Chain A
Amino acid sequence: MSKETKALDRNSILEGKSPLALSIARLRRNKMAMVCFWILVIYSLTAILAGTNIFGLQDQALVFELQNRYQSMFGSLQYLFGTDTFGRNVLARAIMGTRISLFLGLTSGLIMIPIAIVIGAVAGYYGHFLDDLAVYIMSVIVAIPGMLIIMSLVQVMGRSFLIIAFAFAITGWVGLARVIRGAFFQAREFEYVLAARTLGANDFRIIFKHILPNIFHFVIVRFVLNFVSVIKSEVFLAYVGLSVIGIPSWGNMIVESKSELMAGNWQNMTAATIFMFVFLVSLNIFGDALRDALDPKLKNVS
């Protein structure tokens, strides 16, 4: 008996806390991760702001002011990163680029996740023919270099924002679907799933109430880290000339800087690199912390 009461006493401060609440508490104790989290929030707000023409942001980013070319960096806050070949405000362009990058990551994530969940869950839970089919589709996609599919799709379908996001999703879902498939496959035989079935629960209830919530951390972590790969890939697409047209993106800025560097004009390069680097570092650190905090295997609360 003493052992049983002890288990409760030890946790009495945490009583009634769900595993999710415990995970969040764990995450909040990680200072580094919280700093990164707030940086990511700032980026998100910036991205939303960049959708409006606040402070004449969009005008400064897009309109040519040739008499104003190549202003040097760090002169004033408004022209923190100077101006480019056409006299556009590089800071404003980097802010607009934030918008493109974040929305590309968000959109492709939102396309990719339902695909991955449905295919992974169906394959892992029902097995047999459906599983064979899913595994087949995945092995075909894996057999072609991802970047090649993305490039071909964008080249053929056009360089629009949605198509680029779609292309990223088409290659990106496979990894997540595999993880989900494996998790479902195992979860089918978990005793708490069997218990629910003994009570009479149907497939829908078992999938959505018992299995998915217990593997959802895979989805969340992948969603966060998807931004990293999307942003890096966008730079690549920009280099091969297949990123969004007419809108400044970090990739487009870096590519433009290629011809400016020789003449010693570092504005585009500096701004895009700093914006991107800080964002990616924060994503990577936060993503890792999230993975550790959400992992149900880590039982230690302290």
Chain B
Amino acid sequence: MENIAELYNLKKHFEIRAGILKRVVGHVKAVDGITFNIPKGKTLGLVGESGCGKTTVGRTIVGLYKPTEGEMFFDVSRENIDRMNDLQNRYNGFSDIKSPEAREVFAELEALRKANDIYRLSKGDLLKKRKELQMVFQDPYGSLNPRIPVGDIIGEGLDIHKLYKTKEERKGIIQNLMDITGIDPAYINRYAHEFSGGQRQRIGIARALSLNPKLIVLDEPVSALDVSIQVQILELLNKLKSDFNLTYMFIAHDLSVVEYFADNVAVMYLGKIVEIADRDSLYKDKLHPYTQALISAVPLPVPNSNRKRIMLEGDVPSPINPPSGCSFHPRCKYKMDICTRETPELKEVKPGHKCACWLHEKG
């Protein structure tokens, strides 16, 4: 299976500064070393409790945040990926990493990585790549500039990348986008405040679509909407996916929506991925105790909003000082001695099903 994006050991730590000299006094480890692939043409669901770092992962993928560490290879050809893996294996095989041969291999590997790691691209190259990486935001009210007509909101990407020759051409593209996403093209000069939540989300989708992206990060695109409208938007997204050969990364906290919408599911806890598998496998055998808790937990309606929140027992620990070993251990009912001491790694437990838990770490 081909991947549109491969992420290696991605970390995003936000600095906490304090004092007169604004010294760094700590870090919010919002994303703390995650490695996974996003298969081409599929939808990868990313689930987890509030504050576990889902949005941060999404924003780092589209380049809004510069990662503290890690690499992302986006839309890199099969040969290059294979070549890199090959070089890496050869390099790991050297007994003397200072030998000229090893250095040569390493130099080639570095050169390849540098040319392909999206976070190390030059400004101009990055701008080009960025077109292919778009995002739909969570808040239908906050994600549209209230002072710009929706036509110009949708067309902003076209303006930035100069993707048209004449004014008419621009208008044509915009109206086409509106049509595709189910907004009446006659509303091109209206402002965001005249639309309902569902329509605004459609405008956000049209904006993301305007640059012909290959990967779209959907950050809880429907969680602020009424259930009936949620279904419409999800159907629209599915249709667009097949029409335009898109790949989605779908962030959600509502597991039933993910079950309906995603092909593969990654479960996140405190900045780390604890389980990742294709949907059927994951919902059939929930391997990680956190996944089990998450799926069995009752979604509670949050007062004064139409959102539902998953409630597990106990509080989510602070991402500033995550617990030692397996960070889920304070809340885990299968906790063992080793769990508090050593961090379990994300390992393939069954074909295509990875999990990070000592329970499944059988020698």
Interface residues of A (CB under 8 A from B): 1, 3-4, 6-8, 11, 14-20, 128, 132, 190-192, 194-201, 205, 209-210, 213-214, 296, 299
Report the bound CA distance from A214 to B156 in whole Å. Answer: 17
Q: How far is the CB of B56 from chain A (nearest CB, A)?
A: 12
Contact indicator B147/A201 (Cβ below 8 Å)? no
What is the minimal beta-carbon distance from A66 to any residue of chain B, in angstroms?
Answer: 60
Taking a contact as CB atoms under 8 Å apart, the answer to whether A191 and B138 are in contact is yes
Set of chain A residues within 8 Å of B138, measured between Cβ atoms: 191
**A1 / chain B contacts, CB cutoff of 8 Å:** 228-229, 232
Q: Which residues of B contact A296 (CB under 8 A)?
A: 146
Are B191 and A194 in contact (CB-based, < 8 A)? no
- Is the Cβ of B207 less than 8 Å from the Cβ of A195? yes
* In contact, B194 and A195 (Cβ under 8 angstroms): no
**Contact (Cβ within 8 A) A192 B134:** no
Chain A residues within an 8 Å CB radius of B135: 194-195, 198
Smallest beta-carbon distance B116→chain A, Å: 20
B111 located at the interface, meaning its Cβ lies under 8 Å from any Cβ of chain A in the complex = no
The reply to whether B146 and A199 contact each other, CB–CB distance below 8 Å, is no
Contact B194 A15 (CB under 8 A): yes
A196 touches B156 (CB 8 A): yes
Given contacts A191-B138, A198-B63, A201-B156, contact A17 B191 (CB under 8 A): yes
The smallest beta-carbon distance between A132 and chain B, in angstroms, is 7
Q: Is B196's CB under 8 angstroms from A3's CB?
A: yes
Tell which of B147, B156, B160, B194 touches A20, judged by Cβ atoms closer than 8 Å: B147
**B161 close to A200 (CB less than 8 A):** yes
- With CB as the reference atom, state the residue of chain A lying closest to B188: A16
Measured between alpha carbons, how far is A240 from B196 in the docked complex, in Å?
59
On whether the beta carbons of A299 and B193 are closer than 8 Å, the reply is yes
Which of B64, B127, B210 is A194 in contact with, Cβ under 8 Å? B64
Q: For residue A211, which residue of chain B has the nearest CB?
A: B145
Are A198 and B130 in contact (CB-based, < 8 A)? yes
CA distance A200 to B133 in the complex (A): 10
Of chain B, the residue at the smallest CB distance from A2 is: B228
Check if A195 sits within 8 Å of B143, measured CB to CB: yes
Question: Complex formed: what's the CA distance from A214 to B198 in Å?
Answer: 23
Q: Is the CB of A7 within 8 A of B137?
A: no
Docked pose: A201 CA to B63 CA in angstroms: 12
The residues of A that contact B131 with a CB separation of less than 8 Å are 200
**CB atoms of B204 and A195 under 8 A apart:** yes
Question: Total A-B pairs in contact (CB under 8 Å)?
Answer: 97
Closest 5 CB pairs of A and B: A7-B196, A191-B143, A199-B157, A191-B137, A4-B196
Per the bound structure, the CA–CA distance linking A6 and B229 in Å amounts to 14
What is the bound-complex CA distance between A16 and B150, given in angstroms?
10
Give chain B's interface residues, CB within 8 Å of chain A: 22, 59, 62-64, 127, 130-131, 133-135, 137-139, 142-149, 156-157, 160-161, 187, 189-191, 193-196, 198-199, 204, 207-208, 210-211, 226, 228-229, 232
Across the interface, name the chain B residue whose C-beta is closest to A11: B194
User: Closest Cβ of chain A: how far from B287's Cβ, in Å?
Assistant: 34
Please determine whether B143 and A200 come into contact, CB atoms closer than 8 angstroms.
Answer: no
| A7 close to B226 (CB less than 8 A) | no
B146 near A214 with CB under 8 A, answer: yes
Q: List 29 A-B contacts (CB under 8 A).
A: A1-B228, A1-B232, A4-B195, A4-B198, A6-B196, A7-B195, A8-B187, A8-B194, A8-B196, A15-B194, A17-B191, A18-B149, A19-B147, A19-B191, A128-B22, A191-B142, A194-B64, A194-B135, A194-B137, A195-B143, A198-B63, A198-B64, A198-B130, A199-B210, A200-B130, A200-B157, A200-B161, A214-B145, A214-B146
Chain B residues near A299: list those with CB within 8 A: 193
**Which residues of A lie under 8 Å from residue B199 when comparing CB positions?**
4, 7
Query: How far is A296 from B141 in the complex, measured between Cα atoms in Å?
Result: 13
Q: Which residue of A lies closest to B136 (CB)?
A: A195
Instruction: Give Cα distance in the complex from A208 to B157, angstroms.
Output: 16
Q: Are A214 and B147 in contact (CB under 8 A)?
A: yes
Besides A16-B194, A19-B191, 19 other A-B contacts (C-beta < 8 A)? A3-B196, A3-B226, A4-B195, A4-B199, A8-B196, A15-B194, A128-B22, A191-B137, A191-B138, A191-B142, A191-B143, A192-B144, A194-B64, A195-B135, A196-B145, A198-B63, A198-B134, A198-B135, A201-B160
Complex Cα distance, B29 from A137, in Å, reads 33
Considering the chains assembled together, what is the distance between the CA atoms of A205 and B148 in angstroms?
13
Q: Which residues from B are CB-within-8-Å of A128?
A: 22
Give the residues in chain A near B232, CB-CB below 8 Å: 1
Residues of A within 8 A of B59 (CB): 194
Q: Judging by beta carbons under 8 Å apart, are A210 and B145 in contact? A: yes
Closest to A190 in B: B142
Tell me the minimal C-beta distance from B339 to chain A in angstroms: 36
Residues in A neighbouring B143, C-beta threshold 8 A:
191-192, 195
Bound Cα distance from A128 to B24, whole angstroms: 12
- Closest Cβ–Cβ distance, residue B136 to chain A (whole Å): 9
Contact A205 B193, beta carbon cutoff 8 Å: no
A55 to B76, CA, bound (A): 81
B279 → chain A closest CB, angstroms: 27
| Cβ–Cβ contact B62 & A19, under 8 A | no
CB distance from B185 to the nearest CB of A (A): 14
Is the beta-carbon distance between A19 and B145 smaller than 8 angstroms? no
Distance between Cα atoms of A253 and B297 in the complex (Å): 77
**Please, which residue of chain A has its CB at the minimum distance from the CB of B157?**
A199
Contact of A18 with B191 at beta-carbon distance under 8 Å, contacts A4-B196, A195-B143 already known: yes
Given the known interface contacts A3-B229, A15-B190, the answer about A199 and B160 at a Cβ–Cβ threshold of 8 Å is: yes
